[in-house]
Amino acid sequence: MANLQFANDENGNRIKPSPRGRGFCPICEGPMIAKCGEIYRWHWQHDRERNCDSWKEHETAWHRAWKEIFPESWREIIIERNGEKHIADVLTKNDTVIEFQNSPISVNTILVRESFYKNMLWVINAKSFSTNFSIRSKVSQKLMRLEESYKHDLKNFYSLESRDPVYNKKIFDLERDKESYKRIQEQEEQKLKDLTQSLESLNDIVSKTIISWEKEIYQNFSIFGMSEISERHKSDFKDKTIKINLIKSQVTLLERNLNEIENMNTYQYLGIKYVLVNYERLNVDMIERSIIILKSNMDTIFPTILKFQNKLDFLTYKYKADKYLFAVDTTKTIEKITGDITRLNSEYHELQIKFPDYHNCLSLDFEKFIQNELKSNEKRFYEASENEMKVQTEIFTLEIEKNESDAELETFYSKQKEEEKLEYEKEKGRIMRTYKGQYTFLWKRERKSWSETTCPVYFDIGEDYLFERTGPNSLTKISIETFMERYLNV
């Protein structure tokens, strides 16, 4: 329930609270009671719980202190638009509404109130979140940057090396070229050592390379380019090795199958050696090569031997398999497996015979590559040495010319230094005048509500001044006295 400083009497006149006073709400015209205790400031309150203006928050001592700075006739003014009424904290004589906001409100609430009041401004009680600002004076920031720039310029004035950009640039570039040629010689000298060492230990390098192929591990070469040669041979090596290993695995599998067949129980019938199998191992493709033996008389002189008549007949034995034994003629299977083993062994031996001597091939390619690199290395080394000597001669000539011009430059830069100091003092004064009382700020934990407002916002942090938000990240310090002059005298 909001409390007010003023109520209306029976004639509609504004009245202050007095002991046992009665009045009427200026919005809903409901009865109000004067609260005139010894603890809280005197105020008006509805005689029953009522929220006739949802925008009106509970008035604190902070609200009252601000409102009492303004004339009574400006306080708690009813604004009515399109049948909607709200109490403005203060309405100045030029119809500017000043709202004093103590508690947090949403962006939507801010925009609705600004749309209703139109010409308004906010004064925010920022005491509770003043430490949430990171505030920096614009004057301090700009003076600090100006000071850094000035000191940097002075440093250049005091340095003879920086006083002649033409000579300095040429000498600097030449010194850089000289160092570059030195590095080239050092690099080529190191390459020469690496190449020579690689040539001396070529056999060991080749052996390690082939081992790395076989074990599928990375081989690190000290000479750039050798890895490309290795990869080229490695690809062919892997292809042939994969083929050989595939044949070996196929032969092993076939030999295992053949051994399994030869170790199975057999049954001799009409001169044919059959292999006994469970019904579950049969399939329709074995029907013609299979016989059915009745278990009950298989050991007699005249055992009952049957043949599968067709696929349907084969399937019916699934349900009476426990009364019979089943046997398959594996003659053709054994012949096929034996033939496949012979053929694969022949392919294996042929691949082994044709398998290249990778050690010799790799040795020849590596040696050829290293010899070519040695020639190129020697050429680059001597070219860099000659270029270094030429550059050193040019540097010596330029340094003589530079020393001759230093005396003239000393006088010129002394004058420049004085002019720079005058310009610095002038700019310093301009900054202090232009940016006095202006600040940049950052929210440590941003209150986004006040970044969306379209009307002026002033933050009260409990000092004798306010911070006016003048941009997304900028504040201007304004004394409360100046603020009051601005809005009392308009």
Q: Is 55 exposed, middle or buried (0-12, 13-18, 19+ CB in 10 A)?
A: middle
C-beta separation of 113 from 89 below 8 A: no
CA 284/CA 265 separation, integer angstroms: 21
Residue 8 near residue 26, CB atoms below 8 Å: yes
Which residue reads 């006994």 in tokens? 276
For 188: left if phi > 0, alpha if psi spans -120 to 50, otherwise beta; the answer is alpha
| Residue 443 in this model has a pLDDT that exceeds 70 | no
Q: Where are the alpha helices (DSSP H) in 159-218?
A: 165-200, 202-215
**How large a percentage of the chain has pLDDT more than 90?**
20
Cα-to-chain-centroid distance, residue 109: 36
| Average pLDDT of the chain, as a whole number | 83
Look at residue 66 and tell me whether its pLDDT is greater than 90. Answer: yes
Residue with tokens 């000479």: 223
For the chain, give every domain's residue range: 1-52, 60-158+437-490, 262-330
By C-alpha distance, which of 427, 430, 426, 424 is closest to 154? 424
CB burial class (10 A; 0-12, 13-18, 19+) of residue 156? middle
Which pTM does this prediction carry? 0.42
CA dist 230 and 219 (Å) reads 9
The per-residue pLDDT for 12 is 84
CA distance linking residue 467 with residue 459, whole number of Å: 5
Question: What is the distance between the alpha carbons of residues 57 and 389, in angstroms, rounded to a whole number?
Answer: 86
Q: Which strand ranges, in their side-by-side order, compose the sheet holding 324-329?
A: 266-269, 272-277, 324-329, 290-294, 305-306
Which residue pairs, CB below 8 angstroms and at least 24 apart, start in 350-353? 351/240, 351/243, 351/244, 351/247, 352/244
Q: What is the mean pLDDT of residues 15-24?
A: 87
With contact defined as beta carbons under 8 Å apart, do 25 and 3 qualify? Answer: no
Helix (H, G, I), strand (E, B) or coil at 24: strand
Which residue(s) pair with 97 in the sheet? Answer: 91, 120
pLDDT of 447 over the 80 cut: no
Q: Are 427 and 130 in contact (CB under 8 A)?
A: no
What is the distance between the alpha carbons of residues 206 and 212, in angstroms, rounded to a whole number? 10
Q: Please tell me which residue, 370 or 355, carries the higher pLDDT value.
A: 370
- Among left, alpha and beta (phi > 0; psi -120 to 50; other), residue 185 is alpha
- pLDDT value, residue 91: 94
Q: Name residue, tokens 């278990």.
A: 295
pLDDT (tens digit, 9 = 90+) per residue, 298-337?
A: 888 889 999 999 999 999 999 999 999 999 998 888 888 9
Give the per-residue pLDDT at 456: 92
pLDDT at 97 over 90: yes
Residue 236 CA to residue 246 CA, distance in Å, equals: 15
Is the distance from CB of 116 to CB of 84 less than 8 angstroms? yes
Report percent pLDDT > 70 for the chain: 92
Lowest mean pLDDT among 85-89, 283-287, 363-367: 363-367
Which residues lie across from 458 on neighbouring strands? 123, 468
pLDDT at 120 over 90: yes
Strands 120-125 and 457-460: parallel
Place of tokens 């004639």: 11
- Residue 348 pLDDT grade (very low, low, confident, very high; cuts 50, 70, 90): confident
Q: 427 and 146 in contact (C-beta within 8 Å)?
A: yes
Instruction: Give the Cα-Cα-Cα angle 473, 475, 479 (nearest 5 degrees).
Output: 170
What's the pLDDT tens digit per position in 32-52?
888 888 777 788 888 877 778
Query: What was the pLDDT predicted at 161?
Result: 47
pLDDT at 159: 57
- Residues 39 and 55: their CA atoms lie apart, in Å, by 26
Spatial separation of the C-alpha atoms in residues 404 and 394, rounded to whole Å: 16
